[in-house]
Structure 1
Amino acid sequence: MPIDRRTVLADAAIDVLAETGIRGLTHRAVDRAANLPPGTTSAYYRTRQALLTALVRRLVALDQAELQAIGEQTPVPRDAEELAAGIAVFIEHRLTGDGRRRSLARYACALESVHKPQLREILVPRENAGRQVVHDFLAEHGVTDAEDRTVTLLTCVDGLVFDRLVNGGRVSSREIRGLVAAALR
């Protein structure tokens, strides 16, 4: 099934944003990245705000699909080591390849949403199967405030990803095990 033009443009916009930052996100840059004639992006998304909104919607859709697949393919971990190993795989994905590109774009959009509340509404974290795996693990291990701890743990994971994107380096298994242990306390 062919991908529609709006999706092609939104995907190209994610690439441009990841490569050049928010200032580099222009209609012309997206046209070039999508290998489409000049003016194509502008024909579909008349304003920069419309382009940015489409980019954020596509980014959220891709992230949600990925997190849903992770959750559906991952049984609830039996112990803290299994949970830490799963989180390590997730972090590695967010720091490399296509995951890195989307992480860079996601953080740029998050910062932009501080000044554009309509973007913030789109970026609000959603329920998904991946998040549910963490919640269920914590609940099954006697954590009474599993929802709050899930949010805290995943926020810390997000912070580690952000830090390593900005400062380089890898996330150690010790760091991840420490986060999981803290969530279980």
Structure 2
Amino acid sequence: MTPDRRTLLADAALDVLTDEGIRGLTHRAVDRRAALPPGTTSAYFRTRAALLTALVTRLVQLDQAELQATAERLPPLRTVDDVVDGIVQLTRQRLTGEGRRRSLARYACAVESVRDPELRKILVPHENAGRRAVRSFLAAHAVPDVDNRTHTLLTCIDGLVFDRLVSGGDVPREAVEGLVAAALRQGRSPSPPSG
């Protein structure tokens, strides 16, 4: 099925952002990337803010679809090794191919969202099958404050992915094992930052 014009433009904008950075994201650049006549992007997204909103919305749609597909392929998360294997697989997806491109775009948009509450609302962590699986695993192991532990674990994984995007290489399995062990530790969990 051919994507509608708005989706085509949002995908092109995502490519421009990934290849040229936030400063390179212009209506003209998106027109060129989408191989459409000049002015097409601005006809659909009048302002740069509207273009960024469409791009971020599309990025979240693609990420959610990837997370759902990954969760469906994985066996139920019953053991620590199951969780570690699943997270390692996800980090590899986020560091290679299209996943890497989306990760680069996601972090550029996250920085941009500091000044744009609408983008920030779209980018907040969404409920998805992967998050539910981690939360269920932690709940099954009777950890206190499951929601905060889930949030903290996944935020730390996100930080490892960011580090490897910048410095190169894979996320070490030992780092994931350490984070999962910390999430399972009994006692009070650290509160996630507010805001």
TM-score by length of 1: 0.96
- In 2, Cα distance between equivalents of 1:72 and 1:151: 21
How many percent identity over aligned positions?
A: 68
What is the aligned partner in structure 2 of residue 119 from structure 1?
119
What is the aligned partner in structure 1 of residue 51 from structure 2?
51
- In 2, Cα distance between equivalents of 1:23 and 1:119: 17
SS in structure 1 at match of 2:37: coil
Q: Deviations over 1:38-71 (max 9, x none)?
A: 2111111111111001001111111112222223
> Post-superposition, which runs of at least 4 consecutive aligned residues in structure 1 deviate over 3 A?
none
SS in structure 1 at match of 2:35: coil
Deviation at 1:75, TM superposition (A): 3.6
- In 1, Cα distance between equivalents of 2:77 and 2:14: 33
- In 2, Cα distance between equivalents of 1:149 and 1:69: 23
- In 2, Cα distance between equivalents of 1:175 and 1:69: 24
What is the aligned partner in structure 2 of residue 135 from structure 1?
135
SS in structure 1 at match of 2:127: coil
How many residues matched?
A: 185
Q: How does 1:1-185 map to 2 (within 5 A)?
A: 1-185=1-185
Q: Return the letter of the residue paired with 1:53.
A: T
Q: Return the letter of the residue paired with 1:139.
A: A
- In 2, Cα distance between equivalents of 1:146 and 1:161: 23
- In 2, Cα distance between equivalents of 1:88 and 1:180: 11
- In 2, Cα distance between equivalents of 1:74 and 1:174: 20
Asked whether the 8 Å contact 2:75–2:82 carries over to 1, the reply is no
- In 2, Cα distance between equivalents of 1:172 and 1:166: 15
- In 2, Cα distance between equivalents of 1:81 and 1:121: 33
- In 2, Cα distance between equivalents of 1:7 and 1:57: 10
Q: Return the letter of the residue paired with 2:137.
A: F
Uncovered stretches (5+) of structure 1, i.e. residues with no partner = none
Greater relative contact order (Cα < 8 A, sep 6+) = 1
- In 1, Cα distance between equivalents of 2:54 and 2:46: 11
Q: Deviations over 1:129-171 (max 9, x none)?
A: 1100100111111212211110000000000011111121221
Deviation at 1:72, TM superposition (A): 3.2
Deviation at 1:82, TM superposition (A): 1.4
TM-score by length of 2: 0.91
CA RMSD of aligned residues (A): 1.1
Q: Return the letter of the residue paired with 2:63.
A: D
Deviation at 1:117, TM superposition (A): 1.0
